[in-house]
Structure 1
Amino acid sequence: MSYLCPVCAAPFGGGEPLADHLAVSAILHGGDHEAWLDDTVADWDGLSRAALGERVVDHAETTDDHEHVGDHSHSDPEPASGLPNGIDGGASAHNAADSTLDADAQAIIEEAREFTREMQGEDEQ
């Protein structure tokens, strides 16, 4: 099922992609996304990706649309990487993109990556 972000009405194809959007927007930009999470899911920064997804969909409108980042087909799905649509998990892609960022932006990206690893439980291994 697809959901609209309760803050900016962007469409997302599931609870976890919506949770990713809300959390990353809150971490990187603060503002309305962070305020909404703080008001609606007070413990959002301590929840797993799946748990946050379950909580935020209760407050989101459903839609027939969903994110269409990059080229993809609905009839021939690719193996899931665990990353949101359009995000390449390859280190070379990340390194190439990061090299064009200033030090503050690189620190923000690394913080978001660490938060994502924590939400997915990768730190506990």
Structure 2
Amino acid sequence: MSYLCPVCESPFGGSEPLADHLAVSAILHGGDHEAWLDETVADWDALSRGELGECVVDHADETDDHEHIGEHSHHEPEPASGLPNGIDSEPSGHNAADTTLDADAQAIIEEARELTREMQRDDKQQES
């Protein structure tokens, strides 16, 4: 099922991609995404991807469209890096622009990547 972001109305193909978008946007940019999460989901920054996804889809409109980050099918196995589609462990391809960012921006992106890794570890532990 696909959902529209309740803040910017960008389409995402599932609850976890929507949760990733909201959390990363809030962490990197603050603004409307952070304010919406603060008002809507208590302690959103402490939740796993799955838990945050369950909370945010209740506030998102459903859609037939969704973002296709990179080439993928809807039955693709987990990426080799263990990170969601569109989040590379190292800057390359369409994320190569990261290398032109200043040190503060690079630190923010690395923090977002590490938070994503932690959320995935939490999800895997909960599944066990």
The percent of aligned pairs where both chains have the same amino acid is: 80
Question: 1: distance between equivalents of 2:34 and 2:91?
Answer: 30
Secondary structure of the structure 1 residue equivalent to 2:20: helix
Q: CA RMSD in A?
A: 2.4
What amino acid maps onto 1:68 in structure 2? H
Secondary structure of the structure 2 residue equivalent to 1:59: coil
Give yes or no for the alignment of 1:15 onto 2:22. Answer: no
The aligned counterpart of 1:93 is 92
Specify whether residues 86 and 121 from structure 1 end up closer, same or farther in structure 2 by C-alpha distance, changes over 3 A only: closer
TM-score, with length taken from structure 1? 0.82
- TM-superposition CA deviations, 1:26-64 (whole Å, max 9, x none): 000000000000000021000001100011001101011
Could you tell me which runs of 5 or more consecutive residues in structure 2 were left unpaired when the two chains were aligned.
none
Secondary structure of the structure 2 residue equivalent to 1:116: helix
Deviation at 1:96, TM superposition (A): 5.1
What amino acid maps onto 2:12 in structure 1? F
The aligned counterpart of 1:80 is 78
Q: Any conservation in 1 of the 2:78–2:84 contact (CA below 8 Å)?
A: no
TM-score, with length taken from structure 2? 0.81
Could you tell me which runs of 5 or more consecutive residues in structure 1 were left unpaired when the two chains were aligned.
none
Note the 1:27-106 alignment, pairs <5 A: 27-73=27-73, 77-81=75-79, 82-89=82-89, 91=90, 93=92, 97-106=97-106
Secondary structure of the structure 1 residue equivalent to 2:85: coil
